[in-house]
């Protein structure tokens, strides 16, 4: 550490000594990812308060050839915001960049710092009579910058799109410390390359996103949710089509959930009754949001479910009769990622497929996995309305965790081979980070990888921005 003393002192001068963490105890929470699979080392954790301080820190790091790992809420699942255990780097946390810069109600936009917690952004939009629709299980701790860095999706992508679709402009500190000010609230701006789209989803490898101008939407006047038992997985796909035909833009979310995943927390599902006993082992959680009043919205949902029953697509349904009951249904879904941890080591897959291929993929992949490794079970749930599945595997009992962990590489390869055989992607919304970096060149075309490397080299020739991630 002595050789970096002058560097540390300069950082302390720039942002204040209390915001430069150098002890092992202070750095510890920033050096391990949420899944606890990746732990790294850093000279220091730096917590600047604004874009200018980040610019000065990045300029200093560029001058001293010290790598930078940008970090938001540290809720990622691929090790993308965790430093490597070798190499010389600092973590720059955006947690103090937490200001709402502007709400433009007439333009339906919000401009805010990258360190703003997603749930806070939702609350501020709501207080202005608007909706910011991005919704994730981690919304109470993930940040806008992290959402941008991974092009986050969530449960309402079906209607509102990913983070890239929700973003009009961004502010970025480049690898040399320059500030790119692109905070424009324009929905049409054909003035050359779309630089914001280059940085969104880049996982901090091309620069640090420090602020963004995001779209806001009218608040729905009513929301209605229903948990539906389907006859089989193929019926889920037919149900999506029927929902779109019947309800058009009012269909906000459509989640496919195995009853195995649904019942991980028995206390939460004890009031669902017979729907848990569906022979197919599958349910759909769907939500309609409408500008009509609550009764009209409920009538629309009941008419849709009645039609689905006539078409023999569903066998049972629970309709939320209040905001509280609707929240309870979504709480079950959002609690699955944490509830599954009690099963032991979990091998997670964040995949996307053409909707038309989902049923065949699930059926065939399950059979292949069971044939090779009978001592495991699948925990499947996801935003099937946009083709995104969380296809996870767990041991049949926690004491078999070591066995499944030893097979992680083989399991990943089998699942991902299946994904690509069905024209899918092995990363839908969690990014690449460290966990999928080495596999990326095997799954993307050589020309795509070559172009990505060319962009990285052009913008970050010293490879100081989040090295060892994505590429």
> pLDDT, tens digit, for every residue of 151-207?
999 889 889 999 999 999 999 999 999 999 999 999 999 999 999 999 999 999 999
Q: With beta carbons less than 8 A apart as the criterion, state whether 213 and 149 touch.
A: no
Architecture of the structural domain at 222-334: 2-Layer Sandwich (3.30)
Tokens linked to 256: 């496919």
Please tell me which residue, 250 or 31, carries the higher pLDDT value. Answer: 31
Tokens linked to 401: 């965790």
Q: With beta carbons less than 8 A apart as the criterion, state whether 200 and 167 touch.
A: yes
Query: What does the buried/exposed string (b/e) look like for 377-394 if buried means 16 or more CB atoms within 10 Å of the residue's CB?
Result: bbbbbbbbbbbbbbbbbb
Listed range (182-186, 286-290, 448-452) with the worst mean pLDDT: 286-290
What are φ and ψ of residue 347, in 5° steps? Answer: -105, 115
How far from each other are the two terminal CA atoms of the chain, in whole angstroms?
29
Question: Which among 470, 471, 468 has a CA at the least distance from the CA of 67?
Answer: 468
Tokens linked to 155: 């449960």
Read out DSSP for 94-155? -TT---EEEEETTTTEEEEETTSBHHHHHHHHHHTTEE-----TTTTT-BHHHHHHTT---T
Q: With beta carbons less than 8 A apart as the criterion, state whether 425 and 352 touch.
A: yes
Question: Which among 429, 421, 423, 360 has a CA at the least distance from the CA of 388?
Answer: 429
Half-sphere exposure of 259 (CA within 13 A, CB side): 19
> pLDDT, tens digit, for every residue of 291-312?
888 787 788 888 889 999 999 9
Domains in the chain: boundaries: 2-93, 100-218, 222-334, 338-430
How high is the pLDDT of residue 45? Answer: 98
Q: CA-to-CA distance for 314 and 330, rounded, in angstroms?
A: 20
Q: What is the mean pLDDT of residues 28-48?
A: 93
How high is the pLDDT of residue 94? Answer: 98
Can you tell me which residue has the tokens 């202005």? Answer: 128
Q: Does the pLDDT at position 234 exceed 80?
A: yes
What are φ and ψ of residue 230, in 5° steps? Answer: -100, 160
Architecture of the structural domain at 338-430: 2-Layer Sandwich (3.30)
> pLDDT, tens digit, for every residue of 313-361?
999 999 988 778 888 899 999 899 889 989 999 999 999 999 999 999 9
Q: With the CA atoms of 54, 59, 60 and 63 taken in that order, what torsion angle do they form, in degrees rounded to the nearest 10?
A: 160
Pairing of strands 388-395, 89-93: unpaired
Q: Does the pLDDT at position 1 exceed 70?
A: no
Q: CA-to-CA distance for 218 and 224, rounded, in angstroms?
A: 17
Residues 6+ apart with CB under 8 A from 101: 111, 112, 113, 211
Report the CATH number of the 100-218 domain: 3.30.465.10
Q: Does the pLDDT at position 249 exceed 80?
A: no
What are φ and ψ of residue 320, in 5° steps? Answer: -65, 130
CATH of 2-93, one of 3.60.20.10, 2.40.10.120, 3.30.1330.180, 3.30.43.10: 3.30.43.10
Domains 2-93 and 100-218 share a fold: no
Question: Which among 134, 89, 142, 135 has a CA at the least distance from the CA of 114?
Answer: 142
């Amino acid at each position: 550490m002595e050789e970096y003393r002058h560097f540390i002192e300069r950082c302390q001068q720039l942002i204040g000594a209390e915001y430069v963490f150098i002890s092992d105890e202070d750095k510890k929470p920033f050096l391990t990812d949420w899944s606890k699979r990746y732990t790294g080392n850093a000279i220091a954790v730096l917590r600047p308060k604004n874009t200018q301080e980040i610019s000065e820190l990045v300029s200093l790091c560029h001058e001293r050839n010290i790598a930078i790992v940008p970090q938001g809420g540290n809720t990622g699942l691929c090790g993308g915001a965790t430093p490597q255990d070798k190499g010389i780097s600092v973590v720059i946390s955006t947690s103090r960049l937490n200001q709402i810069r502007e709400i433009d109600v007439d333009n339906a936009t919000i401009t805010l710092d990258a360190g703003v917690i997603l749930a806070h952004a939702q609350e501020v939009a709501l207080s202005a009579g608007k909706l910011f629709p991005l919704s994730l299980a981690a919304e109470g701790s993930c940040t806008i910058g992290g959402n941008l860095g991974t092009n986050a999706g969530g449960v309402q992508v079906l209607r509102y799109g990913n983070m890239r679709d929700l973003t009009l402009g961004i502010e970025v500190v480049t690898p040399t410390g320059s500030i790119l000010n692109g905070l424009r609230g324009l929905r049409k701006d054909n003035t050359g390359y779309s630089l914001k789209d280059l940085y969104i989803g880049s996982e901090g490898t091309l620069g640090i996103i420090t602020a963004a101008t995001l779209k806001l939407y009218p608040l729905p006047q009513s929301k209605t949710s229903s948990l539906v038992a389907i006859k089989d997985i193929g019926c889920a796909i037919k149900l999506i089509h029927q929902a779109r035909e019947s309800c058009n833009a009012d269909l906000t979310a459509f989640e496919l959930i195995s009853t195995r995943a649904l019942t991980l927390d028995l206390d939460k599902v004890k009031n669902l009754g017979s729907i848990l006993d569906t022979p197919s082992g599958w349910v759909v959680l769907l939500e309609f949001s409408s500008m009509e009043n609550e009764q009209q919205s409920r009538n629309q949902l009941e008419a849709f479910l009645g039609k689905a029953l006539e078409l023999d697509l569903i066998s049972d349904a629970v309709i939320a009769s209040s905001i509280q009951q609707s929240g309870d249904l979504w709480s079950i879904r959002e609690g699955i990622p944490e509830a599954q941890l009690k099963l032991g080591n979990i091998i997670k897959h964040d995949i996307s497929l053409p909707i038309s291929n989902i049923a065949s993929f699930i059926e065939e992949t399950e059979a292949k996995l069971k044939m090779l490794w009978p001592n495991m079970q699948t925990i499947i749930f996801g935003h099937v309305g946009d083709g995104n599945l969380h296809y996870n595997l767990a041991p049949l009992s926690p004491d078999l965790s070591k066995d499944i962990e030893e097979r992680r590489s083989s399991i990943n390869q089998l699942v991902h081979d299946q994904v690509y055989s069905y024209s899918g992607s092995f990363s839908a919304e969690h990014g690449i980070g460290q966990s999928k970096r080495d596999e990326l060149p095997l799954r993307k075309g050589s020309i795509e990888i070559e172009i990505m490397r060319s962009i990285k080299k052009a913008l970050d020739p010293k490879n100081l921005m989040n090295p060892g991630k994505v590429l």
